[in-house]
Amino acid sequence: MKYFISLILFISTCLGVSGQGLVEFRGVGRTGIYDETGLLKSWPEEGPELLLKIEGVGKGYSQPVLYNNVIYVTGIKHDTMDVVSAYDMDGRLLWDRVYARSWIRTYPDTRSTPTIEDGKIYLAGGMGEVVSIDAKTGNILWSVNALKNYKGEYLTWGIAESVLLTDKAVIYTTGGELTSVVAFDKNNGGLLWKTKSLGGPMAYASSILINKGQLKIILAQTAKDLIAINADSGDILWNFGLAKFHPGTFGKGTNTNIPLYRDNEIFVTSGYNHYAVMLSMADDCKSVSLKWKNDTLDTHHGGVVLVDGNIYGSNWLNNSRGNWVSLDWDTGKVNWETKWFNKGSIISADGLLYCYEEKMGNLALVEPTPEEFRVISSFKINEGKGPHWAHPAIYDGKLFIRHGEVVMVFNVKA
């Protein structure tokens, strides 16, 4: 794909923290693009070779990640506790550690994917704790009750953020009337800065970090706004009201997906018949304007990817149904909308899409093209229970799939 190499170069030079030594939710720069090559271009009918199955990891919707050849995954164990576990590549448990109280209401399964850098794991707990853990031993290095200490406010389904790292800080969105976003020192959990409050609860989306010359910018979301923050000072550069693009009352404020960023443009989508919006940021990074809006690609919580100038993801027809969609990045024009089993999550690697349907667990290898939803191969994930909400991940030629309490690792190296 002619844009694929340029996209990876863009990611490595223009997005936040360097991918070297860092693993986090949705891959390099949180784009959903995994920097892998030499992968299978089709799968056998029964799917790629299953290398490993790990059971009993705890109930969760978070991604498994691979760091220094160790699998890290979070899940509920001991009934109500968020636990992070470390497994070797033979599936042996190295350690597990209770790090927080799990979410207490509907869909309590653990949502926070580990963010790991320099041998340290950073996590958000189900009730608002922010925690640092030694990746080798599982020892807790520090813990801060961010929600309580900074009077945060959550929405109906609780907390789903995977914390973001900058050079010095761990970034967490509290929402509420005291502050909107806080930054903790990576080394000791001390407060580095907090933004002023723009009001409204936290959303369910994780943040991203972008570079504009010497300026590092955090893009965070609350239930009301997309917020651009100076990563060094905590000063708000601008905020854009998202709630006005949420017609009706059902799902209002439910911002769920990491935004996509390219060349001063920012794409934001969420479900519930919300409009997807493309924003254009001024060269001085002090304002944004609406470029276009689209009422077709309202992605529930499965993420979106940008490949060759087109956006790919699934939309929301209701909480149980959705189609797959492609949009043109520049215009917002719908390339296609296709029914394929159900809505779900999406990532990309080596120029192809990996689409993981959430209801029955169908997983497809798809050619990204603006002409049609072109499935190359597919198979079904039969292990595990509950909705297939965890996003796939790819490391070292291996496809990581999590369904409930089961993690599966498939060989997708050609």
Work out the average pLDDT over 377-387: 98
Q: Smallest Cα–Cα separation from 182: which of 158, 139, 148, 156?
A: 148
Q: What's the pLDDT at 21?
A: 85
Integer Cα distance of 106 and 24 in angstroms: 25
Strand 225-230 and strand 236-241: pairing?
antiparallel
Integer Cα distance of 332 and 138 in angstroms: 45
Split at pLDDT 50, 70, 90, the class of 20 is: very low
Cβ(122)–Cβ(131) under 8 Å? yes
SS (H, E, C) 177-243: CCCCEEEEECCCCCEEEECCCCCCEECCCCCEEEEECCEEEEEEEECCEEEEEECCCCCEEEEEECH
What count of other Cβ atoms lies within 10 Å of the Cβ of residue 156? 12
The tokens describing 294, both together, are 């689209």
Phi–psi pair at 364, nearest 5 degrees: -125, 145
Sheet harboring 276-281: ordered strands across? 260-262, 265-268, 276-281, 288-294
Integer Cα distance of 120 and 94 in angstroms: 16
What count of other Cβ atoms lies within 10 Å of the Cβ of residue 40? 20
* Residue 297: Cβ-neighbour burial (10 angstroms; 0-12, 13-18, 19+): buried
Cβ(164)–Cβ(217) under 8 Å? no
Q: What's the pLDDT at 6?
A: 40
Q: Smallest Cα–Cα separation from 358: which of 346, 371, 343, 339?
A: 343
Split at pLDDT 50, 70, 90, the class of 155 is: very high
Task: Provide the percentage of residues in the chain whose pLDDT is more than 90.
Answer: 93
Q: Is the pLDDT of residue 3 over 60?
A: no
Q: Is the pLDDT of residue 8 over 90?
A: no
Which domains does the chain carry? 4-411 (2.130.10.10)
Strand partners, 278: 267, 292
Task: Tell me the C-alpha to C-alpha distance, in Å, between residue 187 and each of 89, 113, 193.
Answer: 29, 20, 15
What single-letter DSSP state applies at residue 245? G
pLDDT of 324-361, one tens digit each? 999 999 999 999 999 999 999 999 999 999 999 999 99
- Three-state DSSP class for 383? coil
pLDDT of 168-187, one tens digit each? 999 999 999 999 999 999 99
Q: What's the pLDDT at 14?
A: 43
All residues at 6 or more sequence positions from 40 whose CB lies less than 8 Å from its CB, including other chains: 48, 365, 412, 413, 414
Least confident of 131-145, 244-258, 296-310: 244-258
What single-letter DSSP state applies at residue 162? P
- Three-state DSSP class for 267? strand
**Unique residue bearing structure tokens 């603006």:** 370
The tokens describing 253, both together, are 């404020």
pTM: 0.94
Q: What's the pLDDT at 10?
A: 41
Q: Smallest Cα–Cα separation from 117: which of 160, 171, 182, 153?
A: 171
**Unique residue bearing structure tokens 């580990």:** 114
Cβ(403)–Cβ(386) under 8 Å? yes
